[in-house]
Structure 1
Amino acid sequence: MRFSTLTALAAALPFTTAYWKGFNVGANNEDGTCKTTAQWTTAFNKLKTLPQDITSVRLYASSDCNTLALAVPAAISTNTKILVGVWTEDAAHYTAEKNALTAAIDAHGSAWIIAISVGSEDLYRGDTTASALAQQIYDVRGMVGALGVTTQVGHVDTWTAWVNDTNKAVITASDFIGLDSYPYFQNAAIGDAYNTFWDSVTATRNQVNAVSPGKWVWVTETGWPVSGPNYGAAVASVKNAQTYWRSVACATFQSTHVFWYAYQDYSASPSFGVFDESGNAIYDLYGC
């Protein structure tokens, strides 16, 4: 465990202990159907039973599966807050996403919103340019601002995208930086995963501070798969997922905003799901 890394990270953070602790939650059920409001409610209530005081979730989209129309009432009834996702690709989809977000704000106000992520790993995939994505961040900020909503608007991407100098415009445009970091995909053995993760956080924070000092780096995705293929020295297993949770989740929940990946992942390979299709935890979440 690299205490020097943790000490440096803690010193760089604002003086606060009020961190969002959440999970990424998909809009689809195991059979591909869309979650109903009742099913969103079940998921949110399940997370609230964890001892880490999980009161927030990250949702990937606004219009797909009528996500916000169905999830926001569940969030309000369970006192769950949402990091909202707005997909940016293609023009028609982007417009539908903005319309769905506007409709949700019109219907329910904005107290349920933590922040808004415009796009997700677009830079990593090379699906857009930094300048185009920056303009969409400004666009969404202006749209919600016209509705009287002053929430933070940013972007979620991999740490390798954030440290790429060609993407500085997105750092400048963003109020917060959403970091996706997976030591598993970096071929890290589980014994090295803790340091590999924190190295990605530190590298991202250094780049952000060089471009736009003072902006927070949020951990918007991290986790370890319970099943799937090996990546070099990285082995997917329930035991290693448990180890990663005990080391990374328990420390990270105390030092920054975190959205763990993922609530459920069903039959994906690799599968990062923490709860199975019956809603039972796959490994022990009570070790922090």
Structure 2
Amino acid sequence: MAKVYDVRGYLRSVGVSTPVSTVHTWVAIRDNPALCGADFAGANAHAFYDGGRVSGQTGDFVFKTVVPALKAACPGKKIMITESGWPSRGGNFGAAVASLGDERNAILNLNCACRDDRSVDVYAFEYDDQNWKGNDNERSFGIFGKLNLLGDVFAPC
């Protein structure tokens, strides 16, 4: 947090007032409220890695588990879910199945959940697959080129 405070102080000293923060897993923020000292709480929240969730529970995981925990840890702070998604391939993690159908279902479910709470910004992770990463799960969170956004993921809820 010292680096966040240094950067924010420098930016303010030169007339820049953009919000400054850092990003951690939601569990790290929940367990270390000192991470709430930035201008907003930026957290990564992947239901897949919870292990007890299926893709259709992604929205509930974010809005009924993660967001309340972050609001309790960081009262009064803006909450941003900076990463949330589902892998299209790789090993399963408990009840979580990595497949293209589950990735589609998770993103649709997350999108539908977002309409109910506009106070939290949620960013789907990520633009395309990252083949340089260490395993198939981590490599396969890409959305574009795999999912039909307008007729599928952004379908009416």
User: TM over 0.5, yes or no?
Assistant: yes
Q: Does the CA-based 8 Å contact 2:88-2:99 persist in structure 1?
A: yes
Q: Which residue of 2 aligns with 1:217?
A: 79
Residue 159 (structure 1) shift: 1.1
Partners of 1:243 and 1:178 lie apart in 2 by 24
Match of 1:272 among 141, 145, 149: 141
Q: Which residue of 2 aligns with 1:263?
A: 127
Partners of 1:257 and 1:194 lie apart in 2 by 13
Alignment of 1:175 onto 2:39: yes
Partners of 1:226 and 1:265 lie apart in 2 by 9
Match of 2:58 among 185, 193, 212: 193
Match of 1:241 among 103, 107, 115: 103
Residues 116-127 of structure 1 mapped to structure 2, 5 A cutoff: none
The amino acid that maps onto 1:174 is A
Pair 1:137–1:221, CA change in 2 (3 A)? same
Q: What whole-Å deviation, never above 9, does each CA across 1:18-53 have from its counterpart, x for those lacking one?
A: xxxxxxxxxxxxxxxxxxxxxxxxxxxxxxxxxxxx
Q: CA RMSD for the aligned pairs? A: 1.7
Q: What whole-Å deviation, never above 9, does each CA across 1:68-112 have from its counterpart, x for those lacking one?
A: xxxxxxxxxxxxxxxxxxxxxxxxxxxxxxxxxxxxxxxxxxxxx
Q: Which residue of 1 aligns with 2:113?
A: 251
Q: Does the CA-based 8 Å contact 2:19-2:39 persist in structure 1?
A: yes
What TM-score do you get using the length of structure 2 for normalisation? 0.83
Partners of 1:177 and 1:189 lie apart in 2 by 26
Residue 195 (structure 1) shift: 2.2
Q: What whole-Å deviation, never above 9, does each CA across 1:185-206 have from its counterpart, x for those lacking one?
A: 1112223333222211211112
Q: Which residue of 1 aligns with 2:69?
A: 203
The amino acid that maps onto 1:273 is G
Residues 40-189 of structure 1 mapped to structure 2, 5 A cutoff: 134-164=1-31, 167-171=32-36, 173-187=37-51, 188-189=53-54
Partners of 1:220 and 1:228 lie apart in 2 by 22
Q: How many residues align?
A: 143
Residue 161 (structure 1) shift: 0.7
Partners of 1:240 and 1:197 lie apart in 2 by 16
Provide runs of 4+ in structure 1 moved above 6 Å. none
Partners of 2:24 and 2:58 lie apart in 1 by 19
Residue 170 (structure 1) shift: 2.4
The amino acid that maps onto 2:41 is I
Partners of 2:56 and 2:123 lie apart in 1 by 22
Q: Return 5+ residue gaps in structure 1 as ranges.
A: 1-133, 276-280
Q: What whole-Å deviation, never above 9, does each CA across 1:165-217 have from its counterpart, x for those lacking one?
A: xx22221x2110001101101112223333222211211112211xxxx2111
Q: Does the CA-based 8 Å contact 2:130-2:142 persist in structure 1?
A: yes
Q: Which residue of 2 aligns with 1:284?
A: 148
The amino acid that maps onto 2:96 is A
Partners of 1:285 and 1:137 lie apart in 2 by 35
